[in-house]
Amino acid sequence: MSMDLLLLSNSTMPQSDYLEWTADDILTFVGDHKKVLFIPFAGVTLSHQAYTDKVQGALPSLEIKGVDDFEEPSSAVQWAESIFVGGGNTFALLNKLHTSGYFDLIKNAIQAGKRYVGWSAGSNVATCSIRTSNDMPIVCPPSFEGFNFFPIQINPHYTEAVVENHGGESRLDRLREFVALNEEPVLCIPEGVGVWVQGASLELKGKYASKMLQKNGRLVEIKHNQSYQIGALQAM
Amino acid sequence: MSMDLLLLSNSTMPQSDYLEWTADDILTFVGDHKKVLFIPFAGVTLSHQAYTDKVQGALPSLEIKGVDDFEEPSSAVQWAESIFVGGGNTFALLNKLHTSGYFDLIKNAIQAGKRYVGWSAGSNVATCSIRTSNDMPIVCPPSFEGFNFFPIQINPHYTEAVVENHGGESRLDRLREFVALNEEPVLCIPEGVGVWVQGASLELKGKYASKMLQKNGRLVEIKHNQSYQIGALQAM
């Protein structure tokens, strides 16, 4: 079982078009696996078709089909060489992956070698669980478990900035609460960063430094453009 | 069944001590129901005792006991004239309310007339559900249902400020996703605001304007120092 995943922190950088910052990465990653099934379920206030069209517009050299282009989830997943899961609300996404019957089909297809690209919510569901999502819990999914492609949590859109004079917890406060109650370390990826997973190894690429929050609450910088064994990162 | 609730947006205002902004309100609200059981379950990185001591320190004229001062949840709730539920992580709070056996006991006691004060997470769990919490879903509770003391959601720490040049959803984006998928309106309360509930009526007090986000996505200002029927607010 050799998995290929590209997990992006976000879709859009300031003053830049949708997926523009990472379009070349996505094309490199999928290579000639250009038949793409797009999963739009995280987009609560956007129709499936509108969301799928937006992604096709950002990546014109790929052949992108949406879930509504198929009669059955099984034929959609079978047709696809790559599966893209877009951002939005993580709870809505995970819930609909289950109610639609796509969850197990996608998990099996990726474990069997199809390529997976996720951004934001689509990166959260690729990990062991959605417990480090930044989103509002607007619907209750059957569980918080993700596809569990590897045993590290991701916090996308990671930032240490706070809204001034506001008493709510900072991002780091929230993540420290996570590690206080759980065993998994958290890979904190700022916007503009992608996590490239190939089998048991992982590499980060992007402009800004990423960090790993360990069980003991320590925050360790993870080097970009360097391959890590996932097991080593986990034990770090 | 006549319920008395005081639901606060937050514990601490900038440049002010813990609960200082609202201590007088809390004392007015509890009146001579001064035997207080404090529920510290939302405080993930603080011990039960340390959290209980902090609340006692902020409200020295009340007799505050914590959950660890009692052998049984039932004797704790029976002893109390008022129940205070502190802020922290809403998911951890709701989960522990269930696993500890406190959930039904508190719900019944408040419906039978004991007084309830909550802040932040403690306000979220008082409503129909925690689906408009701002917190990270660090643990998975058995369901998202709250005490359901009234059929309106609350968003505490409400703010329209955003972190500049950051692509994550704004608070209002997140809440609009909530109303797109759900029926309940959301009472959006900025820091420094308290919701006073007495039976079927509700009044807001505080420095900053509160808003109601309706099912259609419209945001309506709710007047402070004016009593509303909850049914009328819901249908507004």
Q: For every one of its 236 residues, what pLDDT tens digit does chain B have, with 9 covering 90 and above?
A: 568 999 999 999 999 999 999 999 999 999 999 999 999 999 999 999 999 999 999 999 999 999 999 999 999 999 999 999 999 999 999 999 999 999 999 999 999 999 999 999 999 999 999 999 999 999 999 999 999 999 999 999 999 988 777 777 889 999 999 999 999 999 999 999 999 999 999 999 998 899 999 988 899 999 999 999 999 998 87
ipTM score for this prediction = 0.94
Per the structure, how many domains does chain A have?
A: 1
Confirm or reject contact between A232 and chain B (CB < 8 A): no
Cα B40 to Cα A129: distance, rounded to the nearest angstrom: 26
What's the pLDDT at B77?
98
pLDDT tens digits, A23-44: 999 999 999 999 999 999 999 9
Tokens standing for residue B229: 């029927």
pLDDT tens digits, A105-150: 999 999 999 999 999 999 999 999 999 999 999 999 999 999 999 9
Beta bridge pairs of residue A132? none
Per-residue pLDDT of chain A (236 residues; tens, 9 = 90+): 568 999 999 999 999 999 999 999 999 999 999 999 999 999 999 999 999 999 999 999 999 999 999 999 999 999 999 999 999 999 999 999 999 999 999 999 999 999 999 999 999 999 999 999 999 999 999 999 999 999 999 999 999 988 777 777 889 999 999 999 999 999 999 999 999 999 999 999 998 899 999 988 899 999 999 999 999 998 87
Kindly list the residues from chain A whose CB atom is less than 8 angstroms away from the CB atom of residue B133.
136-137
Domain at B167, CATH number: 3.40.50.880
Domain that holds residue A162: 4-234
What's the pLDDT at A1?
55
Q: At what angle do helices A90-100 and A102-111 cross, to 10 degrees?
A: 90
pTM of the predicted structure, to 2 decimals = 0.96
Residue in chain A closest to B162 (alpha carbons) equals A163
The whole-angstrom distance between residue B133's C-alpha and the CA centroid of its chain comes to 10
Q: How far is A179 from chain B (nearest CA, A)?
A: 8
Between chains, do B175 and A12 touch, taking CB under 8 Å as contact? no
Exposed, middle or buried, B170 (CB in 10 Å: 0-12/13-18/19+)? Answer: middle
Kindly list the residues from chain B whose CB atom is less than 8 angstroms away from the CB atom of residue A140.
131, 143-144
Residue in chain A closest to B45 (alpha carbons) equals A177
What's the pLDDT at B165?
76
Nearest to B191 among A167, A175, A191 (CB): A167
Q: Of residues A4, A9, A135, A210, which has the active-site annotation?
A: A135
Between chains, do B161 and A161 touch, taking CB under 8 Å as contact? no
